[in-house]
Amino acid sequence: MVFKVTVSSARRATRTLWLLALVSLPVCISVCRASSPQEDSAMENIVTEKKAEESHRQDSADLLIFILLLTLTILTIWLFKHRRFRFLHETGLAMIYGLIVGVILRYGIIHVPLDGGNITLNCQFNASPATLLVNVSGKFYEYTLKGEISGNDMKDNEMLRKVTFDPEVFFNILLPPIIFHAGYSLKRRHFFRNMGSILAYAFLGTVISCFIIGLLMYGCVTLMKQVGQLNGDFFFTDCLFFGAIVSATDPVTVLAIFNELQVDVDLYALLFGESVLNDAVAVVLSSSIVAYQPEGDNSHTFEVMAMLKSFGIFLGVFSGSFALGVATGIVTALVTKFTKLRDFQLLETALFFLMSWSTFLLAEACGFTGVVAVLFCGITQAHYTYNNLSPESQDRTKQLFELLNFLAENFIFSYMGLTLFTFQNHVFNPMFIVGAFVALFIGRAANIYPLSFLLNLGRRNKIRSNFQHMMMFAGLRGAMTFALSIRDTATYARQMMFSTTLLVVFFTVWICGGGTTQMLSCQRIRVGVDSDQDNSMSVGEGSERRSTKQESAWLFRIWYNFDHNYLKPILTHSGPPLTATLPPCCGPLARFLTSPQAFENECQLKDDDSDLILRDGDINLTYGDITVSTDASGAHTSGGPAFAGAATSDDLDRELAYGDHELVMRGTRLVLPMDDSEPPFTEPHHRMRM
Amino acid sequence: MVFKVTVSSARRATRTLWLLALVSLPVCISVCRASSPQEDSAMENIVTEKKAEESHRQDSADLLIFILLLTLTILTIWLFKHRRFRFLHETGLAMIYGLIVGVILRYGIIHVPLDGGNITLNCQFNASPATLLVNVSGKFYEYTLKGEISGNDMKDNEMLRKVTFDPEVFFNILLPPIIFHAGYSLKRRHFFRNMGSILAYAFLGTVISCFIIGLLMYGCVTLMKQVGQLNGDFFFTDCLFFGAIVSATDPVTVLAIFNELQVDVDLYALLFGESVLNDAVAVVLSSSIVAYQPEGDNSHTFEVMAMLKSFGIFLGVFSGSFALGVATGIVTALVTKFTKLRDFQLLETALFFLMSWSTFLLAEACGFTGVVAVLFCGITQAHYTYNNLSPESQDRTKQLFELLNFLAENFIFSYMGLTLFTFQNHVFNPMFIVGAFVALFIGRAANIYPLSFLLNLGRRNKIRSNFQHMMMFAGLRGAMTFALSIRDTATYARQMMFSTTLLVVFFTVWICGGGTTQMLSCQRIRVGVDSDQDNSMSVGEGSERRSTKQESAWLFRIWYNFDHNYLKPILTHSGPPLTATLPPCCGPLARFLTSPQAFENECQLKDDDSDLILRDGDINLTYGDITVSTDASGAHTSGGPAFAGAATSDDLDRELAYGDHELVMRGTRLVLPMDDSEPPFTEPHHRMRM
């Protein structure tokens, strides 16, 4: 087989990766510089060096476009916030600016044709290796594979190729800080209180949504094939993949408004928790679908073994990433607990940052998913390490990740806007697009409504129908969906998915995001609930007790007991001394692990998470009452699948009274009302189940 | 000419750039993934994809080594700080850990041989283009030049090649935050007060040092040639280049100890200011020397035109970078002044970060030096923008850049340690090394002592001999020297320079850095001067007046007047209203530019920089007194070259009394004692001179 190696100019040196152009591109410069002192080829080298420098400059200029775009976005957002315009969120705005720049780049005056001077080499080899070694009269030059270039690309606008950058940048640079921030800023109290529901929405819901959308899209694609609208292959696995990537919701716009308007905290927790976790599920799900490789010739038949293998991959990768994330979080917590790093805030912050980053690397190095690991690392850090940090470092780490999140998010959204016009291989198929929107709607509905119904059977604090509608409405798609869809745009099917996904993101961010305030008032969801502020609460004894009852969800109580009695004391300075909670045989270990503060604080313990129960009482109660009045028939339902093994209402009342009594004795071993069949000491295995 | 294109495995994909391995390396993955759905070559693609994934994992693991190294450094530093060990600074420690890991990588068990499977292609072309296009049966693949690989490299340890990363990373990723932080944290008051001396040391001193070291090294190299110790070319321009790169001092270790022990602020300002600015000078100087290209055959003869051109490049690049840096700083100041971004700290911080970064990109895009631009941007931001920020953003930006600086600095130093063993082309020549150390010593002495003598002629507050010795001693070499020397290690001369530079850095950081406390006590320099705290001062009327006299340096006064009357009011909310300082013809403009606060504050003005004069009085006085007692003969010398045009001591006393009087009337136009021949209104051109 005869090969052609085409040698083009230095201009092409730098297509992808120009977000970090400053890293990758000067390679050429340095390389050329490195070779320039050789007298024999000095002139050529100088020419190459100049071209490479030119290219470096060009890349700096390109990156500058984005920086200015972000700056402009910031200034406009400020204006919007200043004037209290709520219909357009910063991400929506970033997209608009991105679109404008995209249009300018595409149809504007800047149209740099590719220069000629390509040289063709004939070589005997039949693949595209990741690296080429070129032997130039004894000197070896290393070339790395940058990517495939379609025939169109070569004729096409150089500028557009320049601003199209490596899709993996999203996954490996921009998403991790966003996801970590999400985990780190999870409203812990409400998250844990609604843990069961959140997990159900995130895991079951995402899988349901993925398969429903996949099936519907397969129907749509089959129809398109018959109508003759389809110009390429589109297999069922592609449909499922599409289902997986568009199942990752990202209601950042909605949540920003929720935050501003102080919407009900439980709704916030449900939405935020679901969106954070379903990102993780969607990532692992999509990679499992890609990994579906039946043996035999036709790789698109159904095969049980391959499917089981995919399922195994899903479980393995997810639990592996989860374990890694939690593990580094715990290590960080232990390090910050047992050193006095808190005296040196800079060191503390740096350590925190490095450890969190190392989770990502560790997961990637082990073949797990870094993004997922980072999410659980963030949650663990927020739950344990955060308490060990000095107040300055708490602020610093929060602010640092807030900033990184802000920059990364706006960068992604402005790039989304840009790429609508600069991406070279868009496939817009009206039928597919309509089908996708319908499928998305049905998929979301099939996630929210049935699950809410089932959950309500077990929940005391029901998810009301207006909350359900709001969750349905808030199923925006954002950064994760985009990053997953742009990761692979090689085939016709994937290109069509990518183009459709872009439209989905635009539509949901602008329309659903912009209509949030209208939707809130239309659904009569209370705003201005100033319940997130701990200090604004005055809890009476009665409401406290009743509220404890409200949230005595089965999963939550198990977790809370275990966390309060064992994990908190081991990993932080708070909680009761381990000597009091561990069985006596572990005495020396318990003494070693318990921090001196825990003994000191035994009487005046400051444990953030007992607020979880004591302080939130009044709000929760408020909602509890409303719930009762709304659908009174189910208000006192105990039992049901999600509440299996719980005591009757009366028993619980008694137990709760007992529980309250124990809660008053802060600093000693806490036993929340547990199911009788489950003694507290067998709890450790629940950690696995969580 | 016949070429060989050697096709190697995916393993080689990722030699350089692995600091941001996560950015650059997944390219291969995405590319392979992108091509995998093509049925015809599915199997090969799967193999390539697996290899690329393997490579991505490997890179994550490599990067992890560094992260863990940094984590270890942080923990050890904490221990050192906790126990108050001052003999080893964190950077020294990072180097030691780097060395250890380097030894393990070099001589340890991990010795991955390069796998075979290289394929040779014969092609007709005679250069190493920056990009190759490989045509594989109709599909084009793009390959980017990664670098030259020596024959040795190919046989060598794969692991070592992996941990050797692109030298431009230092310049474009790690140095900018360090340099920006230096500019941003410049102790402004003392910096401006000692501006003349700092500029003299930084500009004149660096040039002197560069040429002296260059000449001495040329002598050394000539000697080596005669003795037969030299195995390659070493031209005079190489010697000068060496002089330039080792003239960049980096007394980070010393300054950390100064800070901790609260050493005299003027000494601190002199050292810090010099080291910050001479980095910039050294960068531009070295690139000007590289740009020295005489016409004709022999490119190493002396030619006046080429030298003038180099000189022109130096001036052009330096002033261009300076102007750009200041310009973006001013734009940021104006934006933060005229918007109410301060209500939204996140936006404010993000804007600040983006604008500062854009300076770097802008400078690189214009062909100037990004690092230099960033330095002056940092200084401008600190001087103006900082005052417009909300207190939260002031903290946030400070902390952000502090963190980035810390991480980047320790990364560089640990990489330095690592590279002593992992760099493949070290040339250790004992004669050259000894020569370099001697030349460095003489060069530093030729910078400090003569300049100090000349400066003392003009300074009221003399630089005492023990200060001079301390400055001599504190001439450590650090990150900038390393980054400049690793940028180009292609020729024999450059490799020898690089190896020598490494040793210089090790020696100075460990020995000079470690001996700082001893040197301080040996030179009897007072420590524990708690003068940096503004709040700890109680200034008496008398000392105030005398201190004002002390610092009435010519350059400083011009600058101060101009800054206080025009720049501060334009760019910040402080200072007197412009309507009072600008001539009446500019009335409308003045009213537009003056912020409402300036009018409000007219009576109770908070201007940080009038502290410059009023508050520091007592300390300065203390030192002034000591100075007088130390070398009393020169204490009252006025006139002299650096003080040209100044009034006599008596005149000045009267003027200063007047100046103090005006200073009391805060908020109105301030006229510090100026030379009579220079009326205040002609000041604008001084901005150019600064």
pLDDT tens digits, one per residue of B83-99: 877 778 888 889 999 99
The answer to whether A110 contacts chain B (CB < 8 Å) is no
Average pLDDT, stretch A311-322? Answer: 93
Average pLDDT of span B188-207: 86
CATH (domain of B269): 1.20.1530.20
Instruction: Report the gap between the CA of B286 and the closest CA in chain A (Å).
Output: 14
Partner residue facing A361 (CB), from B4, B27, B60: B60
Give the residues across from A123 on adjacent strands: A3
pLDDT at B226 over 70: yes
**Per-residue confidence (pLDDT) for residue A142, from 0 to 100:** 61
Distances in Å between the Cα of B602 and the Cα atoms of A108, B421, B573 are: 50, 63, 11
* B572 Cβ neighbours under 8 A, 6+ residues apart: B333, B337, B384, B387, B388, B595
For residue A138, what pLDDT is reported? 57
Residue ranges of B 480-519 with Cβ closer than 8 A to chain A = 487-491, 494
What is the three-class DSSP state of B296? Answer: coil
Cβ separation of B136 and A126 shorter than 8 Å?
A: yes
Task: Decide if A487 and B33 are in contact by the 8 Å CB cutoff.
Answer: yes
Q: Is the same domain home to B573 and B512?
A: no
Mean pLDDT for the stretch of residues B150-168: 61
Answer yes or no: do A358 and A270 share one domain. Answer: yes
Give the range among A324-333, A673-682, B156-165, B331-340 with minimum mean pLDDT: A673-682
Which element (helix H / strand E) includes B686?
helix B684-689
> pLDDT category, A65, cuts 50, 70, 90?
confident
> Which pLDDT score is estimated for B83?
82
Whether residue B682 has pLDDT greater than 60 = no
Taking contacts as CB-CB distances below 8 angstroms, the residues of chain A near B128 are 31-32, 35, 48, 134, 136, 139, 141
What is the reported pLDDT for B504? 93
CA dihedral B496, B498, B502, B504 (to 10 degrees): 70
Q: What CA–CA distance (Å, rounded) separates B396 from B535?
A: 22
Is A510 in the same domain as A582?
Answer: no
* B34 chain-A contacts, CB cut-off 8 A: 147-148, 488-490
Helices of type H across B339-474: 345-365, 370-380, 386-388, 391-422, 430-458, 465-473
A563 and A438, same structural domain? Answer: no
- Round the average pLDDT of chain A to a whole number and report it: 72
**Could you tell me which residue, A555 or B352, shows the higher pLDDT?**
B352
Band of pLDDT at residue A211, cut at 50, 70 and 90: very high
Using DSSP's 3-state secondary structure scheme, residue B142 falls into strand
Q: Among residues B479, B504, B523, which one ends one of the domains? A: B523
B133 touches chain A (CB under 8 A): yes
Contact pairs from chain A to chain B, CB under 8 Å:
481
User: Do residue B352 and residue B477 come from a single domain?
Assistant: yes
Q: Contacts of residue A12 in chain B, CB cutoff 8 Å?
A: 130-131, 133, 142
Check CB contact under 8 Å for B403 and A349: yes
Is the Cβ pair A125, B7 closer than 8 Å? Answer: yes
Q: How confident is the model at residue B451 (pLDDT cuts 50, 70, 90)?
A: very high
> Which of A186-200, A532-546, B552-566 is the most confident on average?
A186-200
* Predicted ipTM beyond 0.95: no
A508-523 pLDDT, tens digit each: 989 888 888 888 888 8
Q: Does A549 fall in a domain?
A: no
Same domain assignment for residues A269 and A385: yes
Span B227-240, mean pLDDT? Answer: 86
Judged by phi (left if over 0) then psi (alpha if -120 to 50, else beta), residue B329 lies in alpha
Q: Does residue A26 surpass a pLDDT of 60?
A: no
Q: What is the mean pLDDT of chain B?
A: 72
Q: What is the mean pLDDT of residues B144-171?
A: 63
Distance separating alpha carbons of residues B681 and B325, to the nearest angstrom = 26
Residue B619 domain-assigned (yes or no): no
Range name among A260-274, A547-561, B250-264, B371-385 with the lowest pLDDT average:
A547-561
Same domain, A351 and A441: yes
For residue A407, the chain B residue with the least C-alpha distance is B350
Phi-psi region of A137 (alpha: psi -120 to 50; beta: other; left: phi over 0): left
Name the DSSP letter for residue B681. Answer: G
| Lowest-pLDDT choice from A141-155, A258-272, A558-572, B247-261 | A141-155
**Which of A273-282, B8-17, B155-164, B380-389 has the least mean pLDDT?**
B8-17
Residue where a domain terminates, one of A143, A163, A183: A163
Q: With contact defined as beta carbons under 8 Å apart, do B374 and B183 qualify?
A: yes
Give me the number of domains chain B comprises.
3
Helix axes B252-261, B90-107, angle to 10 degrees: 140
Q: Which residue of B has its CA nearest to A70?
A: B354
Residue of A nearest to B33 (CA): A488
Last residue of some domain: B592, B614, B644?
B592
Q: Give the containing element (helix H, strand E) for B653.
A: helix B649-664
Q: Can you give the pLDDT at residue A602?
A: 52
Indicate whether B191 and B262 sit together in one domain. yes
Q: Is residue A270 domain-resident?
A: yes
Q: Which domain does A578 fall in, by range?
A: 556-592
Does the beta carbon of B110 lie under 8 angstroms from any beta carbon of chain A? no
Residues of B in contact with A368 (CB under 8 A): none
Percent of chain A with pLDDT over 90: 25
Residue-level pLDDT at A212: 94
- The identity of residue A352, as a single letter, is F
Residue B179 lies in a domain: yes
- Are the Cβ atoms of B60 and A15 closer than 8 angstroms? no
Q: In what order do the strands lie in the sheet with B131-136?
A: A119-123, A3-8, B131-136, B139-149, A139-149, A131-136, B3-8, B119-123
Q: By the 8 A CB rule, do B135 and A3 touch?
A: yes
Find the CB nearest B396 among A34, A172, A399: A399
Could you write out the three-class secondary structure of A126-191? Answer: CCCCCEEEEEECCEEEEEEEEEEECHHHHHCCHHHHHCCCCCHHHHHHHHHHHHHHHHHCCCHHHH
Q: Would the pTM count as exceeding 0.80?
A: no
**A580-592 CB burial, b ≥16 within 10 A, e <16:** bbbeeeeeeebee
What pLDDT band is residue A397 in, cutting at 50, 70 and 90?
Answer: very high
Taking residues B568-582, report their average pLDDT: 77
Task: Report the run of H or E that residue A518 belongs to, with start and end.
Answer: helix A516-522
Q: Can you tell me the mean pLDDT for A351-374?
A: 92
| Cβ within 8 Å, pair A344-B81 | yes
Q: pLDDT, tens digit, for every residue of A587-608?
A: 777 777 776 666 665 544 444 4
Q: Report pLDDT for A318.
A: 93
- Do B208 and B93 sit in the same domain of this protein? no
Over residues A368-397, mean pLDDT: 91
Please give the structure tokens belonging to residue B12.
């080689």
What is the average per-residue pLDDT within A128-157?
A: 56
Q: What is the pLDDT of residue A582?
A: 72
CA atoms within a 13 Å half-sphere pointing along the CA-CB vector of B87? 3
What's at A321, amino acid-wise?
S
Query: Which residues partner with B134 through β-bridges?
Result: A5, B141
Nearest-angstrom CA–CA distance, B489 and B469:
34
The residue that leads in pLDDT, B294 or B333, is: B333
Contact A242, A461 (CB under 8 A): no
pLDDT at A363 over 60: yes
Residue B304 has pLDDT above 50, yes or no: yes
pLDDT tens-digit series, residues B497-521 = 999 999 999 999 898 888 888 888 8
pLDDT in tens, A423-458: 888 889 899 999 999 999 999 999 999 999 998 888
More confident residue, B334 or B151: B334
Per-residue pLDDT at B21 exceeds 60:
no
* B399 within domain boundaries: yes
Give A78's contacts in chain B (Cβ within 8 Å): 339-341, 344, 347
Mean pLDDT of B594-602: 63
Has residue B187 got a pLDDT over 80?
Answer: no
* Pick from A14-28, A88-102, A146-160, B68-82: least confident: A14-28
**CA–CA distance, A421 with B8 (Å, rounded to integer):** 37
**Does A77 fall in a domain?**
yes
Question: Phi and psi of A609, rounded to 5°?
Answer: -90, -5
Q: What is the pLDDT of residues A170-196, one digit of tens each?
A: 888 888 999 999 889 876 677 878 888
Mean pLDDT of A346-360: 92
Residue B617 forms part of a structural domain: no
**pLDDT score, position A585:** 73
Residue tagged 């971004």 (tokens): B341
Question: In this structure, is residue A343 part of a structural domain?
Answer: yes
- Cα separation of A421 and A424, whole Å? 8
Cβ separation of A172 and B396 shorter than 8 Å? no
Quick one: B519 and B563 in the same domain? no
Residue B216 has pLDDT above 50, yes or no: yes
Rounded distance between C-alpha atoms, residue A521 and residue A516, angstroms: 9
Chain B residue with the nearest C-alpha to that of A486: B30
pLDDT on residue B378: 93
Amino acid of residue A568: K
What pLDDT band is residue A232 in, cutting at 50, 70 and 90?
Answer: confident
Which pLDDT belongs to residue B408? 92
Residue with tokens 């604090």: A461
Alpha helices, DSSP H only, in A339-478? 345-366, 370-380, 386-388, 391-422, 430-458, 465-473
Residue A183 and residue A244 in one domain: yes
Do B506 and B569 reside in the same domain of the chain? no
* Interchain contact, A24 vs B28, CB within 8 Å: no
